[in-house]
Structure 1
């Protein structure tokens, strides 16, 4: 394989209609060369439709799509310089691993010898050296997904597309393969567009996350920015399962806001907030609790022991809160009164 061509991607006022339903109203988005951008959102938000339009599997109803500066809006899929990794792997079961990886090259006119050499190099990139003669059935799910990645990479596309690539793997294997994909992308520097509904997966692999809601971009930014500075209650809840509670901003000075929740007062970044009613995003691991009564009290509704931490639902005056306690040893029983506090990190005002 040669050095990757790092193509930029641009959506310019793209709309997609399905009959009388508009799935994507007006999408404008740019992905820089060598960047891994994840399209994240719940089912039906438009992320897969966006990826399929980029791949040429769906045609926009309006707007333009550019890859490497070239308008590909009306080009068929086989004339776009992209490769796609599917969640189902889509390997030919009767072909060896090497034959699967070489298939696209040979279909494009490359002779069998050079295609096999390229396939071997591609398998080496994903850590499958010496396994080219095996059949897909002789590999684990994680190994099969790596073959699918190698098959896409040997075509040396400007852009690699990954459609829910880890959804068929168990939790432990997902963690390992996502790390491998991220390491490979950073090492080779190719441009990648990654679709998932898994927030943890998106946080782990992305340079930038684009959260979609009802076919629109709800917020985009680095993983840390989205987690620590959600722009709405939808983002706060979807990225990291935060509690969103009503609060009162008492005053704002020097970019910081003094906020009251129940009987607690907290200082947080103001984020353009003005004095008055507002909403506060509170991460589950930012809640502290101890048995007994206090300025901000509640009552345990349910508890769950998960090995390295405890999870609680707590009834309070500002609503039902979800809390994670990594320090507790024995779960508190339902009905137990508790006093709540907030750690400074994990709090964010929402406009």
Structure 2
């Protein structure tokens, strides 16, 4: 009988101390089967420690970790039914690609011929059929990373763990391989926990993003939610760019707040706000640059034409704002008077 919780992950009040330093104070997190959840945050935020505890490479000081409904807190790594893809690929250089993939299966007791059949299917899964006889050095960095993914997948783990898997690839290759990983995860429906410090990577691959700061969860939600409605200045600044400006909540009614900012007004979801001083996060592309009409008055101090958009620095009563305008093919000259109108997305009250 199949386990309906297969692939589910849960951290219950997990704490991790290293001597007198607490890396993760009190982590409570649930991951549903079939989700790709990214742990995102700056260096030292606790994301890698969390992944290593899930993998069995670190033991929690307190709390419990469950995989597929089973408490695995004290189980060794080889009994957890998870596999990890590392940033370094960790392929055996003297072994063929096919043998690299089959190695884990044979080590687990599978006969060599059967293991190689599984390995060949794994290569096919990641789009590398026919390359099994090559050495890792004969493949590109992106292909080697796909081999590492195939080696993990053929073990049919409950959860695939990916630790900064694209950090050794150049920018263009990272975009391609992250797309391939996401398509593979969606097609096969496996649970994945992905660690990165790259915000674009997290936005591109995730069902959910868990942003960590000082070992705590700063915000947990879908990529669009975190980008368009950050809960704090830290989230607004860490995921993408944002102008964080002072404002006044003038009134609140039926969950909507009327907001005054630099002489302009707008209405936004109140998010537990109440009348008085507040802060507003505005994405650079959440402005429409106009010459007249309602909006925030400003003066262009710099303009840069970048092909498909123009980047401005604009002085306003709310401060100097960074604005990205995709609507105009001709940059407005420094010194020009403009009106900044707020768009319907990318503007949010923050704590």
- TM-score tier by shorter-chain length is over 0.9
Q: 1:255 to 1:278 in 2, by over 3 A?
A: same
Q: 1:193 to 1:131 in 2, by over 3 A?
A: same
Aligned partner of 1:149 in structure 2 is 149
After alignment, is 63-72 or 206-215 more displaced? 63-72
8 Å contact kept, 2:294–2:341: no
Shift of 1:293: 11
Aligned partner of 1:173 in structure 2 is 173
Aligned partner of 1:124 in structure 2 is 124
Q: 1:137 to 1:98 in 2, by over 3 A?
A: same
In structure 2, C-alpha distance between the alignment counterparts of 1:315 and 1:293, rounded to whole Å: 18
Shift of 1:132: 0.5
In the TM superposition, what whole-angstrom CA distance separates every residue of 1:10-34 from its partner, at most 9, and x where no partner exists? Answer: 1111111122111111101111111
Aligned partner of 2:310 in structure 1 is 310
**Stretches of structure 1 lacking an aligned partner (at least 5 in a row):** none
Q: 1:110 to 1:258 in 2, by over 3 A?
A: same
In structure 2, C-alpha distance between the alignment counterparts of 1:253 and 1:306, rounded to whole Å: 42
Aligned partner of 1:32 in structure 2 is 32
> What TM-score does the superposition give when structure 2 sets the normalisation length?
0.93
Aligned partner of 1:274 in structure 2 is 274
Report how many aligned residue pairs link the two structures.
349
Aligned partner of 1:86 in structure 2 is 86
8 Å contact kept, 2:123–2:150: yes
Q: 1:185 to 1:255 in 2, by over 3 A?
A: same
Structure 2 matches for 1:1-351, cutoff 5 A? 6-290=6-290, 296-332=296-332, 334=334, 336-351=336-351
Query: What's the secondary structure of 2:322's corresponding residue?
Result: strand
Shift of 1:281: 1.3
In structure 2, C-alpha distance between the alignment counterparts of 1:78 and 1:10, rounded to whole Å: 19
In structure 2, C-alpha distance between the alignment counterparts of 1:260 and 1:284, rounded to whole Å: 19
Shift of 1:96: 1.0
Query: What's the secondary structure of 2:176's corresponding residue?
Result: helix
Query: What's the secondary structure of 1:145's corresponding residue?
Result: helix
Q: 1:4 to 1:301 in 2, by over 3 A?
A: farther
> What TM-score does the superposition give when structure 1 sets the normalisation length?
0.93
Shift of 1:338: 3.7
Shift of 1:302: 4.0
Query: What's the secondary structure of 1:280's corresponding residue?
Result: strand
Question: Cα RMSD between the aligned structures?
Answer: 2.1
Shift of 1:333: 5.1
Query: What's the secondary structure of 1:285's corresponding residue?
Result: helix
Q: 1:332 to 1:4 in 2, by over 3 A?
A: farther
Query: What's the secondary structure of 1:12's corresponding residue?
Result: strand
Query: What's the secondary structure of 1:6's corresponding residue?
Result: coil
Query: What's the secondary structure of 2:289's corresponding residue?
Result: strand
Shift of 1:332: 4.4
